[in-house]
Structure 1
Amino acid sequence: MVYCWNCGEKNHDYAKYCIKCGKPLIHEDDIEKILKKEKETPTKDSHTKFKDIKLTGDNIENLEKLTTENLQKDMNTLKECNSKILQIAKKLNGTKIKEEDFNTMMEKLITDIRSELKALNKKLICISPAVMIVTISSHGYNPRNVTVKTDIDKEKMEDYMNMFRTKKMKSLPSTPQNIEGASWTEHCPVCKRGPLNPYTEKKLMGLVTRNGYRCSECGAVFIRKGDKYSLEKVSNTENDTWKTYARQALSEREWTRIAHGGMSDALQKKHDLKKWLADAASGKINFKEPESPIILKKDEKAVLVLDEVTFWEPRAVRQTRGLYGGPTIRVAKGVSFRLGGVQAQSESHEELKQIDKGILTLTTRRIIFTGEKRTINIDLRKILSIEAHNNGIASQRENKQKTEYFLNTNNTQINITVRGNHYTIPVTGEVLKSIIEGMIKQLQ
């Protein structure tokens, strides 16, 4: 992942512009170029580019080897890597560095840290080296202070833990959604053995009373919250049910399903959506044909029609700043003359800009954007790559240099059915990408 230097948003490794603010991203490969440029033309403000440099490991993983033993080994490996990086940084943390030595020391520091992160590719068994984040900050000017901090991508680690818990749980594709005549109090959802008995808990010297159920076998406590029940206590916190559903308020129907080897509605939806996306990307999903706003070709059918979609492209932005040269002579209080001249410096860079707004139509053969200013016709067979974002996609195609961004697709929702379960989901970038990939597969 690449962190935006302007807003801090996480972006894909191959992204050129921040999907949130549109600013160009600085990749690890760009750091050497910036350092070289600063070395050739040092300025007082040049250090601001290095105020917060974030380095991460490569985004590779092997989830098939995700086991308790391997996960523990990987955590120990990350701890060792963290210690080595902090040992490297120990020489510079808080040290005052002269301006003429700064670039050389930064180059060595970045190279050494990058080497340790690269080594994780061979050392880690199942999780991605990208979970390790190293931030290098510089402050002040001649001398400069450099600070190195390490952290773990908590969101990514939480995803690994959820995958691990789910992997250990029994899968539910064949488990019936409604277990005829069963009551969740007959079998404890935690130990799957003992029955649940009525339970009353008093707190604050009896001023607060909470009602629920308690398992006579394992002692698990479920407290009533409205028309739902929350798992509040267990004797063994390593239990899979506790790790997955601790303090979650679920309905009696959900707890009944969990007690018989199933899962909650939210977890079931997550599994169903994962399956649906895989089926869509394989071209196995049949879509109900919507009314098309465009004229279709022979043997062409409409698949999706998305309103209020915005079209974005990278555009060159030029910034000009003036530099004054020459002395200022004070004549009297409040009166002075400046001798010399003003020189203008102009710099150009690319930013993501909204170009148009309109309707995006996906057919079995094309992507057509009909906007207020232009119409874009993309042959699915000409698409080279698609990058998914939360609110849309970025696509690259043959004979087109600039990446084309179609955003706000998530304003439209579609109805899907998986394993007999019905859901209404927004057309996020991931959803749209999977559908497009499925259409391309059908053309092959």
Structure 2
Amino acid sequence: MAARVERVLFVDDEETVREALHQWLTLAGYAVSTFETPEGALAEIDERFPGILVTDIRMPRMDGLAVLESALARDPEIPVLLVTGHGDVPMAVEAMRRGAYDFIEKPFVPERLVDAIGRACEKRHLTLRLRRLHASTDAQGIEGRLIGTSRAMETLRREVLDLAATPVNVVINGETGSGKELVAQCLHAFSARREGRFVAVNCGAIPDTMMESELFGYEAGAFTGALKRRIGKLEYAHRGTLFLDEIEAMPLLGQVKLLRVLQERRVERLGANEAVATDLRTLCASKVDLRAEAQAGLFRPDLYYRLGVAELRIPPLRERQEDIPLLFEHFAAQAAEAHGRAMRPLGGRLVADLVARAWPGNVRELRNAAERYAFGLDRLGAAAEPVEGGPQPLAARVEAYERDLIGRALQQAKGNVAEAMRLLDLPRRTLNEKMQRYGLSRTDYNE
């Protein structure tokens, strides 16, 4: 039996086949709509349609390949299953190459078809769920993208919004895995260029010999193997945002050409005689100090000054430890939801273990650990302990940890609030509010 009701559109020009399949799938728990011709089924398909399409290949008005093409034009990710006769198998294989989910050869055992439909429906269910998750994240604003309640993250969000409203180029500094591309995406998403393309280029992943063709594009015949014109990333980002990750890895010759494009706002493809106007905003990211690289002669100073009109620094996780439990539970819940798994609660011991870790890979490493935890693959699962009275909300666990940190700072400062402010890097008003909320008094820590 199907785990939940799913929509199945079935197209076949034989009435007896339609009736038999309708009966089988209804008994299996599916909501079935049958059609003699494809037009009615195709009319129901869009990006929100909660089901799949099953179609015969040999039909008088439209064959299975044409039906497949029409369905994928409405939603490129909808699963389409083809029912084939023995002689149609080569056509079915071609359809698989073009994007069909599966094919069933006649005569088929009903259980085999029901099993294939079940797998296709599960794939469709996951696709739609992921789309809802992404839509929910997009609708939340910057707080739903740059997650964290720490002072460092509040500052970063404010800086991102301030810079997003300006047209200046920005250098984003941060350690590996700290979220530099995510910050770049936010700078684009909250800017006046949000309707344009966000084009990301990882300079460290492109061989030096291919850097020019990737960035500037080329004309047909520009070099051996250039069979047709190719638009480069700079031209493709016209009226949008270009993000250059690991900019420090760009070879010096590429830096010279990039500087010229940024100065003249025109790009010339390899093998072309005329330049093409380009209007783009450039964001770049580096895990090293570009200013120091420029002073050492390892990066062109004139390009640095053109790119680094403004700079953003992303704090590593070790500088915002209070965000770690929140991020971990967010990523774990996301992974569990995407794969239909129950989310395991985080115990106090696990939260303490997470905060105590160094996380040299920053958010990327934390996300990986959270996803493994959601799937039960990480030893962190063993650290999740039951809490008296049942699982506590994450906010309560974070507050308990925060109260403990403030208490330790006051103890180390011997009740001196100014010294505790320095140890915690908190302003007086914030520390006073937190001490009041947690019932802490400096007099309790005086010698």
Sort the TM-score into its range (normalised by shorter chain): under 0.3
Which structure has greater helix proportion? Answer: 2
Q: TM-score, normalised by structure 1?
A: 0.24
Which structure has greater strand proportion? Answer: 1
Q: TM-score, normalised by structure 2?
A: 0.23
